[in-house]
A and B are shown apart, each in its own frame.
Chain A
Amino acid sequence: MIKEYIENWPGEINTVTIGATSQEGGTRRFSIKVGKEKALPFLFKEGTLPYKPVIAYEIWDITPSDWPEELVKFYKDVWADPLDWAEKVVKEYNADLLCLRLMGAHPEIGKSSDEIVKFLEKILKRIALPLIIVGCGDDQKDNTVLPICSQVAKNERCLFGEVTQDNYRTLTASVLADGHNIIAQSPIDINIAKQLNILISDMGLPLERIVINPTVGALGYGLEYTYSIMERLRLAGLNGDKVIASPFICFVGQESWRAKEAKAEEKEFPQWGKASRRGPLWEMITAVTLLQAGADILVMRHPEAIRKVKEYIELAYSV
C-alpha cells in the first residue's frame, strides 16, 4: 500500500476582513473574513481552510444596457431604482455580500460625483451588508469619484477597487486613510500581481488589506490560463511568500455573461439548448473551476447560478 502523501505548507494566505460592525466602528450587521488558507483549495487534509469562499451579488448604480434576457428577467422589476435592486438580492436571494459597480460615473454616462455620493449614502443606510465598491474603469473618473466614496464610507471597511500598476496611488492613499481594503488588479501575470502588491504596501497599506484580482476568463475563454496563474500565485503564497499571499476576487459574472455560449438567444442557436439552463451553467462552471483554483470571493450575477455554487461550497466543506 502506498502511504498517503500530505503536503505541509510553510506559508499562510493573508486574512482580509470586509465590513465593520458597530463594535468595530462601522454600521455593518456583520463582517466577512476571507483568506487564512493553509492548504490548496478543498484539500482539508493538508491544512486548515477556516473561511469558506464567499459570493458577492453584482449591483450597478444604473440599469445595465448589455445584460442578456436571462439576467434581465430576474432584475427588470427593480432596475428603475438600484436601491431596490440591492434590496431585492438581500431579501429575496439572501445575499451576504454586495459588489457595487459605480458604472454611472463613466464619462459616457456622466453621473456627477455628487449623484454617486448620494447613491452610496443611501445604500449604506438601507443595506447593512459588507460592501465591495468598484469604479467604472475610467482611471481619471475613478480617481475623482472613488476617493470621495471612500470618505463617505469611512470606517465601514469596504473592499474598494480597482487599482492597477499604472494607477494605484490615488485610491491606495484614500483607502489607507479611511480604513478600507483594496483590490489589486493584474493582467493574468504573476509578476505584475506581485509588483503591484509591493507598490501598494510600499505606500503603507498592510498586506492584510489587499485582495488580488488576477483577471479571469470564462469557460472557453482562457479559463485554464487563469487557473494556472492563480494556482502559481497560491503555491507561492503557501510556500511562504507573504507579499503575494493575498486572497483572490474573481469577477465571474462579468466574464461568463460575455461568452456567446452564455448570452446567445435560443432562436439563434436552437441546438445549444435552453438559454435558461445554458447561461447559468456557464457562470456556474466558471465559478466552480475558479474555486478549485483558489478563489476567495466570487462576484456573480445569476441568482440560480449563485444558489448552486453556494450549495457546492457547502457540500465541499461538509466532507
Chain B
Amino acid sequence: MEKFKVTFYPDNKTVEANKGQTILSTAISAGIYINSSCGGEGVCGRCKVILKKGKVLTQPTGRLTLEERKKGIYLACLTTVESDLEVEVPQESRLSFDKLTPQEIELRLRGVYGEAEDIQPSRSLLEEVFVHSPLATKLYLKLPPPDLNDRISDLERLYREIRKKYAIPIMQTGLANIRRLSELLRSADWKVTVTLGKRNGTVEVVLIEPYDTSERNYGVAFDIGTTTICAELVDLNTKKILGTKAIYNKQAVFGPDIITRIIYAQEPDGLEKLHHAVVDGMNQMIQEFIQEKSIDLNDITCVLCAGNTTMIHLLLKIEPSYIRREPYVPTANFVPTIRAAEAGIKINPRGLLFCVPGVSSYVGGDVVAGALSCGLDKEEKLCMLIDIGTNGEIVLGNKDFLVSCAASAGPAFEGSGVVCGMRASSGAIQKVRIDPQTYAVEFSTVGSVLPKGICGSGYIDILAQMLKVGLMDKAGKIKIKDHPRIRETDFGKEFVIAFKEETAIDRDIVITEADIENLKRAKAAIFSASSILLKHMGFDFKDVEKIFIAGGFGNYLDIRNAKIIGLLADLEDERFIFVGNSSLAGARQILLSYPAMQKANELAKKITYFELSVDPHYMEEYMSALFFPHTDILRFPNVKDLI
C-alpha cells in the first residue's frame, strides 16, 4: 500500500500514513488527540483541521461553512490522506488535555504512570449469600502408592482421591501436567497439592505441586474501568481481602473514552498497544501486591476481571471495532476461561483468567458484577443501580425483570478531564462546605492529610455548594467577580478551593468553568439515561423503591448534594443506598464462589439492553438535563427551595 508522510502543526510531528487513512486516525497515531465526540462519524463537526499542503479526499458535510472551506478547513474524520500532507490542528479541535501546558499535562497524567495506590476495600451488600467455593480450590492429597492389587493409572489415582472429597463427575488435565505427573508423584512421596479450577462447565486439574501448599491460595479480583483499574487481593481459603489498589488505566494516553480507543485499535499495532497498556497496569498491581504481602507469585492461582465490554476485548486482544458501529455488536459477551498467561497476565503460569460475562457492547461484566453484588435480581420491589463511571450504566428491575442502558458520561466524576481531579485516594478533597457570606471553603480529605486534588464526591459537593451560595448560575457559569478566590483565566473563570499554602502540592486547587461544564455533561448523561430507561418501562422515579449508587467515590457521597446538582432524582434520602465500587465487590464474590459465577452468567443473559442512541427522546432529555438541577425544575420540587 502506498504510504505518505503527514506532519502536524504546531506540534511539528510527522508520522507515516496509508493512502486513504483518515486524518483523524493519523493524528492519533502521532499522539495528537482531536475532538471527535461522534466517534469519527462526521456528525459532530468538532474535528476541524486546516490543510496547509498536500492532497486529500473529503466527503460533503454540513458542519463546515463556505468560509471555513475556503480557508482550507476539513473535518479530520471525513478526510483521507492522498499525498504527503501538512496539517494544522487548531486548539479548539483538540481534546481538553491537549489544551494544557506540558507541565499541566504531566500533572494531569501523573496518576497514569504513577504507583498504584491503596484504596478502601469494596463493600458488598450480600457478603454471605453465596457459598464459599472459590473458582480455584487447592486440595492437599496423600495418595496411596500403587501396588499389584491397586494398579490404576497415576492420573486415575489422582482423580479417585479428589473424588473422595468432591463429587466431580468430569475432570480434565492438561497434557503438560500429565507428562510430569509420574515423576512428581513419586518424588513427592505421593503427597501433592492439586489446584482445581472451574473451567467452562468442567473441572480442570490446573496445577499439581509437591507436598502441602493448600494454605497458600490467592486470587485477584479486577474491576477494569475506562479510566480506573481497581484490584483486590483475596485469600481464597479464608475469604479475607489482603489488599486493595487502584491505578488510572494507562490506555488513557490513547484517548479518554472507549470510542477513541476503539478507533485507535484500528491503527497498525493499535490493538497491541492498548492490550499491553492494560496488561502492564494489571501486572504492576499484582507485583506490588506480592511484594507488600510477601507472597509467592505462584500461589496466585486465578484472576477474575469485571470490565466494560470494550475493556475486556482489549484485555484479550479481541477485535473491538464493531462495538462502535451500528448495530453495535461486540465480538463476544461471554468469553471462555483461559490461562492468565495467554493474555499476558503474570500469576502462576498455569493459573486461570475468568471474565464476568457482559450484556451488550455498552453494558459489560462490570455492571453484571455490580447488579450481582447489590442483589437486584432478588428484590421484590422496583430497584435501580446507577454506576457513575466514564461509561455510566443503569440497571432497572427486580426479581421479575432487569433492563439496562449505558450513557457516555465522561471521566469527570473519576477525577479525570478536570483540572485538579484525582481518584478517591489519600489527599483527595471528598467533602466540601462553602460559607454563604464569605465564600470561605472548608473541606475534608481522604486520609485526613493535606489536599492534592479533588475526587468525584468532592466535585459533587462543590457544585451543589456553589449553586446554593450563589457563586454559580444554573447554567454552571461563575457569576461573582472581585473576590480573592475567583480569577479570570484564558479558559474562563475559576474558583479556588484551596490555596497553595493549604495543599500538599505546589499550586492552588481550583475548579474552572470548563470543569463545571464537563461535570454538568456527565451528570446530565447519567440523569437522562436513568429517566429514559424508566420512561421506556412505563415507570417514573417515584416508583423506584431503592436506588443503589455505585462509583469510585471512596467512602463518601453526599446524596443531598447529588440531588441539588440534578445527578440523582429528587426522592427521599432513604431510597438511596451508596454502594461504592459495586463492580469490584461483585468481582470478589464471584472469585470466591462458583455459584456466584453461575448467577452472573444467568444475569448477563437475563438483562435486556436498551440502546439510547437510537432513542429519539434521549437527546431531548439530555439537553434539558444540561442545567442545574434541571430545566424542568418541577421535577426537583425539594431542590427548588434549597437554591
Chain A positions within 8 Å of B, measured between CB atoms, are 165-166, 169, 189, 191-192, 194-195, 198-199, 202, 243
Contacts and interface: CB of A to CB of B under 8 A. Distances in A.
A198 B474 CA distance: 8
Nearest to B622: A191
B479 interface: yes
Contacts of B473: 169, 199, 202
Contacts of A169: 473, 479
A189 B623 contact: yes
A198 B477 CA distance: 14
Given A202-B473, A202-B474, A195 B627 contact: yes
B633 interface: yes
B623 A191 contact: yes
A199 B474 contact: yes
B474 A194 contact: no
B155 to A, nearest CB: 69
A191 B477 contact: no
Interface in B11-68: none
Nearest to A236: B632
Given A169-B479, A191-B631, A195-B475, 14 more contacts: A165-B475, A169-B473, A189-B623, A191-B620, A191-B623, A194-B624, A194-B631, A195-B627, A198-B474, A198-B627, A199-B473, A199-B475, A202-B473, A243-B633
A198 B633 contact: yes
Contacts of B479: 169
Contacts of B631: 191, 194-195, 198
Interface in B515-550: none
Contact of B624 (A165, A191, A199, A243): A191
A198 B632 CA distance: 10
Contacts of B627: 191, 195, 198
B584 interface: no
B643 to A, nearest CB: 9
A228 to B, nearest CB: 13
B434 to A, nearest CB: 18
B626 interface: yes
7 contacts: A169-B479, A191-B627, A191-B631, A195-B475, A198-B627, A198-B631, A199-B474
A172 to B, nearest CB: 11
B474 A195 contact: yes
Interface string B462-485: 000000000001110101000000
A140 to B, nearest CB: 13
A147 B479 CA distance: 18
Contacts of A199: 473-475
Interface of B: 473-475, 477, 479, 620, 623-624, 626-627, 631-633
B474 A166 contact: no
A169 B633 CA distance: 21
A195 B626 CA distance: 9
Contacts of B620: 191
A67 B589 CA distance: 73
Contacts of A166: 477
A108 B624 CA distance: 36
Contacts of A194: 624, 631-632
A78 B392 CA distance: 62
B626 A191 contact: yes
A199 B473 CA distance: 7
A123 to B, nearest CB: 32
A202 B626 CA distance: 17
Nearest to A196: B475
A194 to B, nearest CB: 5
Contacts of B474: 195, 198-199, 202
Contacts of A195: 474-475, 626-627, 631
Nearest to A194: B631
Contacts of B477: 166
Contacts of A189: 623
A137 to B, nearest CB: 16
Contacts of B633: 198, 243
Contacts of A243: 633
Nearest to B473: A199
Q: Give the 7 A-B CB pairs with smallest separation, nearest first.
A: A191-B623, A191-B624, A195-B627, A191-B631, A194-B631, A195-B631, A199-B473
B466 to A, nearest CB: 14
Nearest to A244: B631
Contacts of A198: 474, 627, 631, 633
Contacts of A202: 473-474
A243 B474 CA distance: 14
Nearest to B627: A195
A202 B640 CA distance: 12
B470 to A, nearest CB: 9
Which residue, of A165, A166, A191, A194, has the highest number of chain B Cβ atoms within 10 A?
A191
B623 to A, nearest CB: 4
Contacts of B475: 165, 195, 199
Nearest to A167: B477
Nearest to A189: B623
Nearest to B477: A166
A186 B631 CA distance: 14
A194 B620 CA distance: 13
A191 B474 CA distance: 13
A195 B477 CA distance: 13
Nearest to B621: A191
A243 B631 CA distance: 10
Nearest to B620: A191
A202 B470 CA distance: 10
A166 B475 CA distance: 9
A191 B479 CA distance: 21
A166 B627 CA distance: 13
A195 B623 CA distance: 10
Contacts of B632: 194
A166 B631 CA distance: 16
A195 B473 CA distance: 11
A189 B631 CA distance: 12
A202 B623 CA distance: 20
B223 to A, nearest CB: 35
Interface centre among B624, B626, B631, B632 (most CB of A within 10 A): B631
A235 B624 CA distance: 17
Nearest to A197: B631
B488 to A, nearest CB: 13
A189 to B, nearest CB: 7
Contacts of B624: 191, 194
B512 to A, nearest CB: 15
Residue among A189, A195, A202 with max Cβ neighbours from chain B (10 Å) = A195
A251 to B, nearest CB: 20
A35 B623 CA distance: 27
Nearest to A192: B623
A191 B632 CA distance: 9
Contacts of B623: 189, 191-192
A189 B622 CA distance: 12
A194 B635 CA distance: 14
